[in-house]
């Protein structure tokens, strides 16, 4: 089996057509950005373990040279296959002992780290310990992390599949498929946001697709928290600058303002926009021009970038709501976005719901039309029309006011009673 890492922020993904040890620009750029972290901090000396014999000396020499294949990190992870290599380190497939489990291991090259490497490693491990708490099935899990002869490494779940980036490389994705992927991304983000974690580098390359129990397009989101702190995009790498991927960065992130869960919603909106139209809202020009477009320019309508695209209006409304410049004008959280996506799926599948209109309350909650009801936590359906009552024969009292009709009915009853009494007395 041959595997390849599609992106620096991805775990290792099985791909029979891939070539082992192929150069990977994004991986290299992501590792390169690590050297800019941790400026203006005091260096803490690093202790190295004593070398006790010739075999140990050879192992340490190999580690220093960056040739880690066959080495065992932390006494548990045997690096068996190099998947991608960059200027700052490598990604490997490893076998975990004693469970014989396949895992993905990201290893940072100590030669590429700054003089404040020990402080950087401390921050790395502190962040990784928080990420290890994420257990949602739509999140790539972090199993372990540590140091080995000066190398910092992160052990993650190995995913057998592809990425949304590769899916979108073929052009627009069918709307229902893209919505199915996005709703699972919402589920993964919900757990992280509940723990106070914000991804801050959500993009197609960080969303993996695999199969599980016969289900297709099972989403695995990777690199929560590490995206900004440790695996920033190479387009912005200088110390003191905001790290991220320009095409997917929210305005508040570009301005280096406080970020919250709505920052991830903006990035998810860009992922949706690209998946549905085949392009990102702002992708022409250099990184700085793209950043300024996110801050200043309006998001092009679907008709401007994909005139042939025919979707219910609520689909574009949902995407554009994610991409509003002010975070307070977006969905309040990913669960509200998920409700809107479910309504979009209903409008696509049901011709009677094609023109359904969605609205947003001032606090970011979705308002559904009166004829749409939520059947379960995530399900939506159209309300069944009220049953028609059976028709009755026309009555002489039709159109007469209710009180008058009641009076007439009463008089008819009294008259009928009097006639009955007279009939009894007059008849022999």
**Contact (Cβ atoms closer than 8 angstroms) between residue 52 and residue 115:** no
- Gap between the Cα atoms of 283 and 179, Å rounded: 22
- Gap between the Cα atoms of 127 and 192, Å rounded: 13
Q: What are 308's two structure tokens?
A: 């042939």
Q: Is the peptide bond before 98 cis (omega within 30 degrees of 0)?
A: yes
b vs e for 391-420, b when ≥16 Cβ sit within 10 Å of the residue's Cβ? eeeeeeeeeeeeeeeeeeeeeeeeeeeeee
- β-strand 77-86 against 22-23: which pairing, if any? parallel
Q: What is the dihedral of CA 324, 329, 330, 332, to 10 degrees?
A: 170
**Contact (Cβ atoms closer than 8 angstroms) between residue 11 and residue 5:** yes
Active-site choice (15, 32, 109, 201)? 201
Helices (H), 325-375: 334-349
Beta carbons within 8 Å of 124's beta carbon, 6+ residues apart? 145, 152, 154, 229, 230
- How many CA atoms, within 13 angstroms, populate the side-chain half-sphere of residue 288? 2
Beta carbons within 8 Å of 158's beta carbon, 6+ residues apart? 3, 11, 12, 93, 102, 103, 104
The sign of the CA dihedral 146, 7, 199, 35 is: positive
Does the annotation count 32 as an active-site position? no
Can you state the percent helix, strand and coil of the chain, rounding each to 5? Answer: 40, 20, 45
Helices and strands (H and E) in the chain: how many: 13, 16
Beta carbons within 8 Å of 375's beta carbon, 6+ residues apart? 381
Residues tagged active-site:
201
């Amino acid at each position: 089996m041959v595997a390849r890492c599609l992106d620096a922020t991805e775990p290792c993904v099985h791909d029979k057509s891939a070539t082992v040890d192929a150069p990977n620009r994004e991986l290299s750029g992501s590792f390169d950005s690590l050297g800019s972290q941790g400026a203006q901090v005091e260096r803490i000396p690093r202790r190295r373990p004593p070398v006790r014999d010739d075999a140990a000396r050879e192992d340490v020499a190999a580690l220093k040279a960056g040739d880690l294949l066959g080495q065992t990190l932390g006494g548990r992870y045997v690096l068996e296959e190099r998947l991608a290599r960059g200027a700052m380190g490598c990604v490997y497939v490893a076998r975990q002992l004693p469970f014989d489990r396949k895992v993905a291991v990201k290893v940072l090259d100590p030669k590429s780290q700054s003089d404040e490497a020990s402080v950087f490693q401390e921050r790395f491990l502190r962040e990784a310990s928080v990420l290890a708490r994420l257990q949602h099935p739509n999140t790539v899990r972090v199993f372990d992390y540590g140091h080995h002869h000066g190398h910092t490494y992160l052990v993650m779940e190995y995913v057998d599949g592809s990425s949304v980036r590769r899916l979108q490389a073929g052009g627009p994705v069918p709307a229902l498929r893209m919505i199915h992927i996005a709703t699972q991304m919402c589920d993964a983000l919900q757990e992280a946001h509940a723990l106070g974690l914000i991804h801050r580098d959500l993009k197609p390359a960080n969303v993996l697709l695999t199969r599980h129990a016969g289900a297709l397009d099972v989403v695995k989101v990777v690199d929560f928290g590490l995206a900004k702190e440790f695996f920033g995009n190479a387009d912005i790498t200088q110390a003191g600058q905001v790290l991220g991927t320009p095409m997917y960065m929210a305005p508040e992130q570009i301005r280096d303002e406080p970020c919250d869960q709505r920052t991830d919603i903006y990035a998810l909106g860009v992922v949706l926009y690209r998946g549905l139209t085949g392009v990102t809202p702002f992708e022409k020009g250099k990184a700085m021009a793209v950043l300024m477009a996110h801050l200043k320019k309006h998001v092009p309508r679907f008709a401007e970038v994909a005139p042939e695209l025919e979707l219910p209006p609520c689909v574009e409304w949902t995407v554009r709501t994610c991409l509003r410049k002010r975070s307070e004008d977006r969905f309040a959280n990913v669960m509200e976005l998920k409700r809107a996506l479910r309504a979009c799926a209903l409008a696509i599948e049901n011709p009677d719901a094609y023109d359904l209109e969605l609205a947003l309350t001032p606090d970011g909650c979705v308002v559904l039309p009166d004829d749409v009801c939520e059947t379960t936590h995530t399900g939506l359906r159209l309300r069944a029309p009220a049953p028609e009552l059976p028709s009755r024969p026309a009555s002489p009292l039709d159109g007469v006011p209710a009180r008058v009709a009641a009076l007439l009915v009463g008089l008819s009853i009294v008259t009928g009673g009097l006639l009955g009494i007279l009939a009894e007395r007059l008849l022999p």
